[in-house]
Amino acid sequence: MNRSIAVVAMLAAGMVFSAGFGAARADTLKVQVRREVHMAMPTRGMTMAQVLKRFGPPERKLPVRGGGSRWQPPIHRWAYPGYVVYFERSIVIHSVADAPSGEHPVH
């Protein structure tokens, strides 16, 4: 009997405690949601020759990054309309869709 009174007292205290927080002001979090767009882009493992054959020449070839040592291979970047393809040496490692204009410019 004593134990059930202690449990009821703890529950009552918890309800009083949480009721004080229930009256607190709530902040609103606004999150911008973008719809994922599926477009044909080169996939990991394709060679430069395969990308050229399937997608044609890029709009521009960006400056090569890395290549200073065996542990930092050259990273080639080709810009196509709507996405950029990243190559390690001559193999695709990633294709990234462009962000909406003004958010993340391509360098």
Whether the predicted pLDDT of 70 surpasses 90 = no
Could you give the 3-state DSSP secondary structure of residue 52? helix
> Residue 102 pLDDT > 80, yes or no?
no
The confidence score (pLDDT) of residue 53 equals: 98
Whether the CB-CB separation of 80 and 58 falls below 8 Å is answered with yes
Tokens 């309800």: give the residue.
Answer: 15
The confidence band for 10, taking pLDDT boundaries of 50, 70 and 90, is low
State pTM to two decimals: 0.60
Contacts of 79 (CB under 8 A, 6+ apart): 58, 59, 60, 61, 62, 106
**pLDDT above 80 (res 78):** yes
Using CA of residue 60, residue 62, residue 63, residue 66, what is the dihedral sign? negative
Band (20; pLDDT cuts 50, 70, 90): low
The domain segmentation of the chain, as residue ranges, is: 48-97
Distances from the Cα of 91 to the Cαs of 25, 53, 84, 94, 106, in angstroms?
54, 14, 14, 9, 20
Residue with structure tokens 């490692």?
Answer: 93
pLDDT higher than threshold 70 for residue 106: no
